[in-house]
Structure 1
């Protein structure tokens, strides 16, 4: 039986059992957290921080959560909107004048946050290293022409989401997205989540482990559509070796390069599930949370090739909202139950080769504890 450490209230015993089963099967190391009414009811971890299973996963182990970073970035925008510094219905160019080029004068902030801005790809970038140059990337996005009329269709903005939202935040506050998140979200909450990781935290990082039978050359791609047809993508493919590199940790790519564990992910997102506060710290008003679960777009996503419901910054799934990361990490929040659930791991699964239900099984186990 896999040794599971940490806090788990008895009524959520199914969550502990689900993590133990996963660690006994697919997982190498992982953490799970459930926050209810802004307080932890589950905070558990187990397994190993390395593929060789020689280093234990500890309470303060961090790992890259890939696109589970997007909910963190979206929260920053919602905080600014709640403070009256950002109008979600205003043109992006109201804050970032250069962005009006190439027919983008009518792209609204909410289009950027709901993946409907028509800028799903970074044109002209051929190497992952290009992503580390913030000014170059954002200048390129400002000059780019939308693929479709903004607001009329959705296409997952896998990498561009973070640069677009991050530049809006920078124009308003004078701070990078990572700095704003650290100072206005992570520090007040005491959340151990980082967008741009410092060298002193490297020792705590559990590197991502590529899917079985694959190497660290394994790259993120858009899923194939009907008949196995892939959407053409000309940008740089991010590989596991890139996501595990020191350069990646130091950069700010606020769609994908957050580092944390389930505790920090669930804590931060519980702010939205709990009407703006967690652990006695209020970050925004109850009304300011509502865009997180109010649907902006429903229909076929041109990149994901599946039907999606997008809110301002999140995917919507029934009563819950949230998002997951390449390889398997996941966070979901339910404002009706005031619950947030997070699952963060190092063993990646290639969903084209193997079904990955690890995060969803954790979420369902958490719901069983509410009965």
Structure 2
């Protein structure tokens, strides 16, 4: 167990105790946790192993595949670009990508893509990792598809296509790749250019944790064979440890996905929790931030079958039986248990990243423990 240089506090001690327990018992491999409160880093802890075979310890700078936690990072990046005027939520995607505007997709907006309402969650049933990672060809395939439902009338989780669509839209609208935009417009200004990534550049490859399975793959395989989820995430590209450890997957900048440190994710959400500004760095205006983090759609997700509220790429609040995000909170979680969110009512942010893919509920346990220690009411 290693501790950080944040001042000793009940919140820090509580997290250190939990991490020692879950990594010591073998339930988890390596874990990082960070939290900010009112503009200050208040929890910064890590424990366990980044790679059990190599015996490499988890450190504060270890980069951890955090899967769809990256969708919230992409949402924040788009919000920054909207604030700059480079993008508009109500703009038709075809404004940036003319070929997209066919087969009933003429009026699909950027906002509908972010809110999973475009009706384009499906991938070919025989999709392989190689095919998914050929992003120009995959974008071209999506551009030829007809929506599964009238865009804007319903929403369903665009698990992989969210990233393919955003990567193409961002490239065409700005002339820059999504990873370049992330570094230059979001992560770089916050001082976390090497801690918040859509892909792993070669010079950072040695810092990445190895994923392993702690029951996540079995959970996915237990889903009914005809579940809509498998139309959108075919078996060949399930978000499991084997895919997360592939070198080609890590090299591909796909903003449905993220590789990050807990420090980096918590710092981003701290800026969002504090109205778009942190330590003198303003990412975006409060007006654009409010627009992006207000519920745009709410109801039953056609793909996942669960009830949720979505904004501009963020999940708003939490309708689950054990809520993680408070009412008014926003963020995104990823396969295997990683998560990050902001709670603007309390100027609080939380991030958990880990390399063993489990269904343990560690996120709720830690977030609730920190909030209790800080005296923040859970509502």
CA distance in 2, matches of 1:113, 1:320: 17
CA distance in 1, matches of 2:218, 2:164: 20
What are the within-5 Å matches in structure 2 for residues 90-105 of structure 1? 90-105=91-106
Could you tell which deviates more after superposition, 16-25 or 278-287? 16-25
Asked if structure 2 preserves the Cα contact closer than 8 Å seen for 1:71 and 1:323, the reply is yes
Distance 1:232 1:68, change over 3 A: closer
CA distance in 1, matches of 2:80, 2:221: 30
1:348 aligns with 2:351: no
Asked if structure 2 preserves the Cα contact closer than 8 Å seen for 1:8 and 1:16, the reply is no
Stretches of structure 1 that go unaligned for 5 or more consecutive residues are: none
Q: Could you list the per-position Cα deviations for residues 11-53 of structure 1 after superposition, in whole angstroms to 9, with x for gaps in the alignment?
A: 4133333333332342111100001234311111111112348
What are the within-5 Å matches in structure 2 for residues 1-371 of structure 1? 3-9=1-7, 10-12=9-11, 13-25=13-25, 26-52=27-53, 54-123=55-124, 126-191=127-192, 192-211=195-214, 218=217, 221=220, 224=223, 230-231=227-228, 233-234=230-231, 235=234, 236-238=236-238, 239-256=240-257, 258-317=258-317, 318-349=327-358, 351=359, 356-371=360-375
SS class of match (2:131): helix
Asked if structure 1 preserves the Cα contact closer than 8 Å seen for 2:82 and 2:88, the reply is yes
Q: With structure 1 as the length reference, what TM-score do the two structures score?
A: 0.90
SS class of match (1:333): strand
Distance 1:8 1:19, change over 3 A: farther
CA distance in 1, matches of 2:341, 2:221: 22
CA distance in 1, matches of 2:222, 2:161: 17
Q: With structure 2 as the length reference, what TM-score do the two structures score?
A: 0.88
Could you tell which deviates more after superposition, 281-290 or 337-346? 281-290
**What displacement does 1:281 show?**
1.4
Asked if structure 2 preserves the Cα contact closer than 8 Å seen for 1:92 and 1:99, the reply is yes
CA distance in 2, matches of 1:20, 1:89: 47
**What displacement does 1:62 show?**
1.1
CA distance in 1, matches of 2:49, 2:371: 27
Q: Could you list the per-position Cα deviations for residues 154-198 of structure 1 after superposition, in whole angstroms to 9, with x for gaps in the alignment?
A: 111111111212222111211111110011111111111221211
CA distance in 1, matches of 2:146, 2:179: 27
**What displacement does 1:124 show?**
6.3
Stretches of structure 2 that go unaligned for 5 or more consecutive residues are: 318-326
> Alignment RMSD, CA only?
2.1
CA distance in 2, matches of 1:221, 1:102: 32
Asked if structure 2 preserves the Cα contact closer than 8 Å seen for 1:111 and 1:151, the reply is yes
Distance 1:32 1:150, change over 3 A: same
CA distance in 2, matches of 1:360, 1:170: 36
CA distance in 1, matches of 2:163, 2:143: 14
Asked if structure 2 preserves the Cα contact closer than 8 Å seen for 1:332 and 1:341, the reply is yes
CA distance in 2, matches of 1:264, 1:368: 23
CA distance in 1, matches of 2:228, 2:59: 40
SS class of match (2:57): coil
Query: How many residue pairs align between the two structures?
Result: 357
